[in-house]
């Protein structure tokens, strides 16, 4: 038989939740994109065949490729493009420029995480290119990067979640 939580314990838990929410909100609103662990962009030229770009994405384990003309970003090609524009609709030897999303939305390395989240939410994107001060791509922010950032703020709370929903620490110990 477990011991019931006191009113003090319940009140304390509410304060912790409020503090955690404030910490999350503050971090997302104040931290720049450079605070995230973003990967270097994987790039391709506009003439690269869709097949080659898909293989590159798979080998690099990334969800998008930036399409470049020299050092200038001209488009983005994502795993969604493969599903919506390629499968059963396009020859895999077609150049990527025929189905890339041209002139993608971007963010700057010193823009806020909240700004990137806003653009991703409004546009329905899961990836958004990150540019340096000279307008060159230095990375791609993905939803996975933002989730990783949130987990880093509360590692114990997230990583110690019970293995099944609804299972409490007391439930793990037979209480």
Residue 165 resides in a domain: no
Q: What is the pTM of this model?
A: 0.77
Total number of domains in the chain: 1
Could you read off the pLDDT of 78-120 as tens digits, one per residue?
999 888 877 767 788 899 999 999 999 999 999 999 999 999 9
* Spans in the chain with pLDDT lower than 70: 1-21, 23-25, 88, 167-175
Q: How far is the C-alpha of 164 from the C-alpha of 171, rounded, in Å?
A: 11
Helix (H, G, I), strand (E, B) or coil at 43: strand
pLDDT of residue 92: 85
**CA quadruple 123, 39, 130, 117: dihedral, nearest 10:** 40
Residue 2 resides in a domain: no
pLDDT of residue 44: 97
Half-sphere exposure for 101 (CA within 13 Å, toward CB): 19
Residue 42 resides in a domain: yes
Residue 56 resides in a domain: yes
Residue 124 resides in a domain: yes
Residue 117 resides in a domain: yes
Residue 28 resides in a domain: no
- CATH number, domain of 141, equals 3.10.580.10
């Amino acid at each position: 038989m477990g011991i019931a939580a006191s009113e003090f314990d319940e009140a304390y838990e509410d304060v912790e939740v409020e503090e955690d929410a404030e910490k999350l909100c503050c971090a997302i609103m104040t931290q720049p994109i450079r605070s995230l662990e973003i990967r270097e962009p994987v790039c391709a030229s506009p003439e690269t065949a869709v097949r080659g770009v898909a293989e590159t994405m798979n080998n690099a384990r990334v969800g998008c490729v930036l399409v470049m003309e020299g050092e200038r970003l001209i488009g983005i090609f994502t795993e969604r493009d493969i599903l919506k524009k390629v499968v059963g609709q396009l020859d895999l030897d077609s150049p990527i420029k025929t189905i890339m999303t041209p002139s993608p939305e971007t963010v700057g390395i010193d823009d806020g995480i909240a700004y990137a989240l806003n653009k991703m939410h409004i546009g329905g994107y899961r990836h958004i290119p990150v540019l340096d001060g000279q307008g060159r791509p230095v990375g791609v922010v993905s939803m996975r990067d933002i989730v990783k950032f949130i987990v880093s703020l509360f590692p114990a709370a997230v990583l110690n979640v019970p293995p099944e929903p609804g299972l409490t620490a007391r439930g793990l110990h037979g209480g």
